[in-house]
Structure formats: structure tokens, C-alpha cells
Structure 1
Amino acid sequence: MDQAKPLPGYLVQRYQGWKATGYAENKAWYRRLASDGQHPRAMVISCCDSRVHVTSIFGADQGEFFIHRNIANLVPPYEPDGDHHGTSAAVEYAVTVLKVAHLIVLGHSSCGGVQGCIDMCKGHAPELEQKHSFVGRWMDILKPKYDLVSSEKDPGVQAQQLEKHAVLASLENLMTFPFIQLSVDEGLLTLHGLWTDIGEGGLEYFNTEKQLFLPV
């Protein structure tokens, strides 16, 4: 492998700063994490978007959350077909090995993946329709939900609606996993749907009784 290069200087400086302060001041805690293993109480499935900072939103320390990130925080349905399934593997590990008590799907405003799905559904993104588009094929998970928002005329409102449907689609697909269904039925696992407004710092949760997202 000849293509790998040294880290950019600014990242080296940031690491050295962390090692001299954050790590040095909490060395015993880091060593305990290393020796005792991880015991997170919750798994969070969030978007890859660099603006969504899960640990900051909840003020979490290392070891608290088992975090998986992908485009548009989507979970595919249960498909044990022998192919590569990174998200499904992360979910399986969190639930069956780590025994997390909570599984959180966190969507967000201004999601590029969701907007890509909208553009694809409107015929404005032919590049995503190509079979070789990983993003396009991933957005196929969400495409069925577009019909629920297709009549909305305001582009911003439509995007926000589909962002929230992305959370619900993931929750629905999670329940197709037999080990999740079993854990939920036995009261060992609870599912949670959240949506955060990046610009306003807002956080909403899906209320099953009212079937809508409400402020936390």
C-alpha cells in the first residue's frame, strides 16, 4: 500500500494537544476503559454529516454510546443474504453482544442524503439512478417514503418531513430483525426516534401515542 500518507500537520497538533491535556488529565479513566471493555447503555445510529455531533448533544463521555454513522441514518431491513451489511452488523453486535438497553435513531435537518433521495425521486439526480451509485442504492431504502411527502409544495418543509420519515423507516426496519423483536418483547430493549435541528439546537422525539415528533 503506497498511497497512505502521514497525517496533515494540523491533525498531528490537535492529537498532541489532546494527549497532553485531555488524556493526561484522565489517564486512569482511559486505562480503565481499555482494561474493562465497553459497556454502553445505548446505541445511536446517526448520519455521517460532520455537523451532527452525537456526544456533544448529550454531553456523553467515552464508553457511554455505541455509535454507528451512515448516510441519512438509515437501517436496511433484515436481509441475511451473505452480502456485506455494515449497519446490520453494528446493530447485531450492539444488541446481542453489548446488550444495549436503548437503540436511538437520530435524524437531522439539512440532510444531504435525504435531499438526494428527493432529487432522485423527482428525476433530478440521474447520477444516483446509476447501478454503480452507492449513495443512490442506499437511498432506495428511503424512496418508498417519498410518496408520503410528494404533495408538499414547500421544498424546506418537504425535506424536513422526509428526514423524519427516514427515522421512522429505520425504526420500522429495525423491528424486522428477529433479535431486536425478541429483545423489545422481553422488555430488554427500547427504540427511540429523534430528529435534531442543527441551526437551532433543537431536539425532537417521536411520540407513538400522537404519531408525531415533539420537542424533548
Structure 2
Amino acid sequence: MQNDENPALDALIDGYHRFRENDWQQQRERWSALKEGQSPKTMVIACSDSRVDPTQIFDVDPGEIFVVRNVAAMVPPFETTPGKHGVSAALEFAVQFLKVSQVVVLGHGMCGGCKAALTQDLHGAEPGQGGFVSNWIALLDDARDPIAQEHGTTGRTAERAMELAAVKVSLDNLRTFPCVKEKEADGSLTLRGAYFAIADGVLHLLDEGSGAFSPVMQ
């Protein structure tokens, strides 16, 4: 049944029907197993950007990866101050209860959050008018300064540098969590940085030793 007043919802319902007719039927055993619980081995922290879907990029089945998405794929540092710590809660759940063996921070090209962090166009905006975004991407302020000094605050060179730096910031912040630090030290948890270039569809992996991102070869 189509709703002329809400074509966006109609598109979702049409997609649901395709899902029921195709993937649901083809993977009935998989869905049957998942009703008993989940046991993903990898957590992916990705951007909310609609163009960057980790399940599509990594071509995984339902239940294979535990995904958290937010503006610019950021992880805040560990803190116990009052507040609603959504990313921290998801990380704690994945590491302590699901016992994932890998956390991947996935940055991407043409990231609006990283661009806003670089230009600081939203600085001083009121909550609801850009202030929430501004406060969130302030996590990148320290990383921004040397990039702005070297490359300026506009153009793809500066933007890409900010996008890559954001991945490293989130990795550094992950290591401020005691549970992450402990599990990485005993070898039961691995942290990886990755970057997906929207322009050419190429995935890059970070070598933390050199600090360089290299494309994954076909």
C-alpha cells in the first residue's frame, strides 16, 4: 500500500518487501541462529554518513560485525563524568560482553564532520543549530591546529589530512579505556584504523608504526 504523502516511507517499505522476499528467505538458517544471540568478532566505529555503510563495504552477513556510527566516527576519551555516554556504552558492551577480538575505526573521504572541525564554521552555534555537532567535533581541535597551519582550512588536501587524523584521534582515545588497554596488552583485542575513499571506493589501512594509510590491494 503506497502513501502519496510519504514517499520516503514508501521507499523503506518497498525495501523491506524485497528483504523479506530475498535475503530473509535465502538466509533463513542464519536468521534462525541469530535469534539465540549474537557473537560478532569485530566492532566497527564508523561515520553516520549515508554513503559509508560498513556492512556494504565489508560485504558481511547479519551478525558478523557490531557497528556504532556517529558524526566523523569519533570515540571520546574515557571519562566517568555524569552524562549519556553512548559510544562508551557501546564500546564497553562490545569489548566486555560480546568479547570482540578487533575494533576497527573507519574514517572516510568527504566527511562533513571533519570538514566542519577543520573550518570551525559551527563554532559558537546554539544546540539545535549546529551546537551539538560543534561540541562533538571539538574532539578534533588538537589534531586540527597543525593541519590548519600546514594546509589551511579549505581544499581536499587539508580535508583529507583532517579525515585521516580523526581516525588516529579515535584510536588514541580508545586506548584511554581501561578495558581496551588491558585487552590490547594481553593480545585478546586488536585495534585497527581504516579509511574508505568515497571517490574511488578504495579501502586504506593504517600502519600505526609509520602513521601511513595504504590502499588494500585487489
Q: Same fold per TM (> 0.5)?
A: yes
Deviations 1:1-39 (A, max 9, x none): xxxx9982222122112112211222222011112x100
Other structure's SS at 1:46 match? strand
Does the Cα contact within 8 Å between 1:131 and 1:137 map onto a contact in 2? no
Give the aligned residue type for 1:142: L
Deviation, 1:92, is 0.5
Give the aligned residue type for 2:151: E
What does residue 141 of structure 1 align with? 139
Stretches of structure 1 that go unaligned for 5 or more consecutive residues are none
Stretches of structure 2 that go unaligned for 5 or more consecutive residues are 1-5
Does the Cα contact within 8 Å between 1:33 and 1:63 map onto a contact in 2? yes
Give the aligned residue type for 2:34: L
Deviation, 1:214, is 1.4
Cα distance between partner residues in 1 of 2:29 and 2:208: 42
Matched, 1:129 2:130: no
What does residue 95 of structure 1 align with? 95
Give the aligned residue type for 1:141: L
Other structure's SS at 1:161 match? helix
Other structure's SS at 1:140 match? helix
Does the Cα contact within 8 Å between 1:195 and 1:204 map onto a contact in 2? yes
RMSD: 1.6
Deviations 1:103-147 (A, max 9, x none): 000000000000111121xxxx2x442352110000110111111
Cα distance between partner residues in 2 of 1:11 and 1:208: 40
What does residue 172 of structure 2 align with? 172
What does residue 22 of structure 2 align with? 21
Cα distance between partner residues in 1 of 2:26 and 2:137: 43
Does the Cα contact within 8 Å between 1:128 and 1:135 map onto a contact in 2? no
Matches within 5 A, 1:1-216: 8-35=9-36, 37-120=37-120, 125=121, 127-130=122-125, 132=127, 133-150=131-148, 151-153=150-152, 155-216=155-216
Moved more, 145-154 or 38-47: 145-154
Cα distance between partner residues in 2 of 1:148 and 1:128: 18
Deviations 1:145-195 (A, max 9, x none): 111211214621000001010000000000000010000011100000001
Cα distance between partner residues in 1 of 2:170 and 2:202: 21
Does the Cα contact within 8 Å between 1:171 and 1:193 map onto a contact in 2? yes
Deviation >4 Å, runs of 4+: none
Cα distance between partner residues in 2 of 1:52 and 1:168: 18
TM-score when scaled to structure 2?
Answer: 0.90
Other structure's SS at 2:90 match? helix
